[in-house]
Chain A
Amino acid sequence: MTLNDFQYSNIIHRCFRCGYCKFPVDWTDVNNCPPYARFRMESYSCGGRLWLTRAWLNEQINWSEYLAEILYSCTTCKNCEIKCPLRFNVDIVNMVVSARAEMVEAGKVPKAVKDFLQNIELYGNPYGASRTNRIAWTKGIEIDRYNGHEYLLYIGCAGSYDIRAQKSSKALAQILLKAGVSFGVLGDEETCDGNETHNLGEKGLFELLANKNIKTFNKMGVSKIITLSPHAFNAFKNYYPSYGGNFNVFHYTHILNSLLKTGRIKFSDSFHKKTVFHDPYFLGRWNGEYETPREILRVIPDIELMEMEKNRSGALCCGGGSGNFQMDLLGGSESSPARRRIREAYEMGAQIIAVSCPKCLIMLEDAIKAEGMDDKLSVMDISEIVAKACNI
């Protein structure tokens, strides 16, 4: 592989490293690029990544595990694309993903990434957990296997296996049951959606996953899908159509919002908490959806909804994207994006950080523990907040 063969060889040199990409929308600080916020070395800034990629492809520097970690620490949150004023901005994340694909192709990825991908290949999830445990989250509730229901509820790996995220999966399923929504799950037949695999540059494995899922969905006659995770939502909505998978895809907040609007779910309990909403970038910057989760939160009884300074297109990513909810290349420091986010919420007096993504849930929950703020602040998924307000 040389620079000339690189898909973006005609634009990668156009990054000037002016640094707009480090800022949130309102220029408060230079900490809105997760890896740069964490490491604060120019090599970890968006411009640093592009310059290093070019230097590597140009053989000015050699591949190293460390170089790979720099590239894989990007969560693909697209803050850079929002802030970069230049025309090539739409391809910034694509350039990083392509560079990773080159590393995958050459078999040169950090160990954490290798394990992540290998687990998905072998077990259909990044945790290396048994397929049969995919349904552990359903314990205690009766949920149909998908069989011609109106919706397929696709939970995904984090919501299926992670103990914290399982609670949000369960809350969501219980709300849908109570509202009488016709839905079913795939249970142990569910496999990874591949969104992270795609963005980690493992295109081959992604294709396998996409084809497999599309085949399963089609075989079962699925036409409408509800996803727990914005990551799966993104994969189904934006990646699957080019593999022939055309489904009507909803993030669960779309469904909850319409159930609320049509009165199919009603609140019975008060939720009198100072609450902020943390935007997941796969709903926000990737899919332009900022308002639906807020519309739900706004009607929760007695909630005191506040906005963090960095919100919507200016939100700071939790640091969990691109597999980092598991690989955690950005963890281990008070500068980790999740811990910065927690402190930001705490400093403005929030009691609850509401999320709408299992990865954000996991990342922020861990960050609260690391900050020693368990007694001051909690993170809850919107599904859990709605379930609580419905007294489920």
Chain B
Amino acid sequence: MDSIYNALCDIVGKEYCSNLPEEIYIYSYDLGTAEPKKPDYVVSPRTVEEIQKIVLLARDKNIPLVPLGGGLSLAGLAIPQKGGIVIDLKRMDSIIEVNERARYAVIECGVSQGQLISYLKKHHPNLTHSEPGAPPAATVAGNIIIHGQGDLAHPYGFSSDMVLGLEVVLPSGDIIRIGSCALGSGWFTIHPLPDIGLFLGWCRTTGIITKLSIKLFPAKKIRGTGTFVVEDEELIPEIIYKITHTQIPEDIIVYSRAIPPFAKGLHHITVNLAADSEKELEFKQELIWDDTLGEYIKNDLGGYLGFTKELERPQISKTSDYKKGGGFEYVGGIMPIDTYPQCYIRGREISEKHDIPYTVTARIIGLAHSMMFAWTYAFNRADEETIKKAREALYETDELVIELGGVIWKPGIYGQRLVMDRLHPGTKNLMKKIKTIIDPLGIMNPGNWELL
């Protein structure tokens, strides 16, 4: 008998532990183009204590551990590169606390975006969180761990800038807390204790975040989207600069794509506005469309397409079916806004070279401190050739991000290598030391960010 399997069953219960070919198959795949790699076991724990026991077991037996949230990163970040135990965290799905006045929520790591949206809508209609536009099955924690961005990224930055506290199971099996919760008080601030930035952006190679506190923001009564259309990509950086100067929008996205035809060769800038009254809304609209963008309309350079009340949250995406093939993957680059024209032109070239209708999207982060520029490549899961083409396009795009002076967001293995090759030696050295101390056996999500 398999003693590790039995030990895992003892921890989580037989029903939530498997080493059967069916689970091994499903959990070996990511939804993007990454090659599958088989885990040896799959477990689905319900408590932090169970997770702690799993980690201790893995440490004692020197087995890789691969934590999995919604499994929707598309970059293959939860593929068990070296086998081991996949920990499906989706049963860790309690919303523990929402503090209305201090505007934060404490949740477990398996809470999905859809669940949190629905919960806040029902119980705290004045509060909202920054929703990333991933399918609603994506977890809130997963989005934060990879430094994702949501529909409040413009005023408030990356989702990981919204963390107010963490509970983490370390590869040693120790459970630690970061932020005011470490003092046993509320989960309302991550500062001003000494900074321990060890878990965000590390792709779960330093520990398993089990609980987190996140900032919530005012949910105004009216939320909607207005659209402005521009043909000349060179104008986008200055237009974004001007719109962000107003400090008014909740979210700003620019997109262009080959299909449907109306979007081809044009740049649609969608601007989300929120208000508690018609008066407030019209004030904001006037500032944006008339005072800020009026000159572009007058000069035939831009057009106001209208404003639609009501936001679709969670957003419903049909991107995966672009090629009627059930697949797409994208490279996200965190880029300076000024690179927009190059991102667009070069991205189009890469798409066209690989025979994929181009799709590019930029979400403005902070007051245009940067943007997340996504180059999306659809493929047909039943056609190896299209997968190969998409994969090549993705690799070329990873290189483009670096070339244009950006930083690859949530890179897959290929992109991680590009980044590591260029990392400042001092930085690389410190990361190595941290990793050696915190995970000396290298059991956490091995294959990712391998500096040693």
Do A18 and B320 have beta carbons less than 8 Å apart?
Answer: yes
Do A27 and B118 have beta carbons less than 8 Å apart?
Answer: yes
Q: Find chain A residues with CB under 8 A from B91 CB.
A: 40
Q: Mark B6-50, 1 if CB is under 8 A from A, else 0.
A: 000000000110101111011101010000000000101000000
Binds A, one of B159-167, B283-291, B311-319: B311-319
Q: Which of B22, B70, B381 is close to A61, meaning CB atoms less than 8 Å apart?
A: B22
Do B117 and A64 have beta carbons less than 8 Å apart?
Answer: no
Q: Find chain B residues with CB under 8 A from A123 CB.
A: none
Say yes or no: is A238 at the interface (Cβ < 8 Å to chain B).
Answer: no
Binds B, one of A47-55, A196-204, A223-231, A353-361: A47-55
Q: Mark A1-31, 1 if CB is under 8 A from B, else 0.
A: 0000000000101111111101100111110
Count the A-B residue pairs with Cβ separation under 8 angstroms: how many? 114
Do A23 and B136 have beta carbons less than 8 Å apart?
Answer: yes
Residue in B117, B328, B381 whose Cβ sees the most chain A Cβ within 10 Å:
B381
Q: Which of B250-280 touch A at CB < 8 Å?
A: none
Do B22 and A23 have beta carbons less than 8 Å apart?
Answer: no
Q: Find chain A residues with CB under 8 A from B325 CB.
A: 13-14
Chain A: number of interface residues, binned into ranges: 35 or more
Q: Which residue of A lies closest to B43 (CB)?
A: A41
Say yes or no: is A262 at the interface (Cβ < 8 Å to chain B).
Answer: no
Q: Mark B369-388, 1 if CB is under 8 A from A, else 0.
A: 00000000000111000000
Task: Assess A40 versus B44: contact at CB under 8 Å? Given A18-B137, A19-B137, A22-B137.
Answer: yes
Say yes or no: is A307 at the interface (Cβ < 8 Å to chain B).
Answer: no
Say yes or no: is A70 at the interface (Cβ < 8 Å to chain B).
Answer: yes
Do B22 and A64 have beta carbons less than 8 Å apart?
Answer: yes
**With A and B bound together, what is the CA distance between A82 and B194 in angstroms?**
49
Say yes or no: is A66 at the interface (Cβ < 8 Å to chain B).
Answer: yes
Do B88 and A42 have beta carbons less than 8 Å apart?
Answer: yes
Do A61 and B21 have beta carbons less than 8 Å apart?
Answer: yes
Task: Assess A30 versus B112: contact at CB under 8 Å? Given A14-B324, A18-B320, A22-B137.
Answer: yes
Q: Which of A327-341 touch B at CB < 8 Å?
A: 333
Do A13 and B382 have beta carbons less than 8 Å apart?
Answer: yes
**With A and B bound together, what is the CA distance between A51 and B25 in angstroms?**
9
Q: Find chain B residues with CB under 8 A from A27 CB.
A: 112, 114-115, 117-118, 136, 314
Say yes or no: is B447 at the interface (Cβ < 8 Å to chain A).
Answer: no
Q: Mark A166-210, 1 if CB is under 8 A from B, else 0.
A: 000000000000000000000000000000000000000000000
Q: Find chain A residues with CB under 8 A from B21 CB.
A: 61-62, 64
Q: Which residue of B lies closest to A26 (CB)?
A: B118
Which residues from chain B sit less than 8 Å from chain A, CB to CB?
A: 15-16, 18, 20-23, 25-27, 29, 31, 42, 44, 70-72, 88, 90-91, 93, 112, 114-115, 117-119, 121, 135-137, 314, 316-318, 320-321, 324-328, 380-382
10 of the cross-chain contacts (CB-CB < 8 Å) are A14-B324, A16-B320, A18-B72, A27-B118, A40-B88, A42-B26, A52-B22, A61-B21, A85-B317, A333-B15
Instruction: List 10 other contacts, CB 8 Å, given A43-B18, A88-B321.
Output: A14-B324, A18-B320, A19-B72, A19-B135, A30-B115, A40-B88, A41-B18, A55-B25, A64-B20, A66-B22
The 10 closest A-B pairs by CB, nearest first: A19-B137, A27-B114, A16-B320, A18-B135, A13-B382, A14-B326, A27-B118, A13-B381, A86-B321, A43-B26
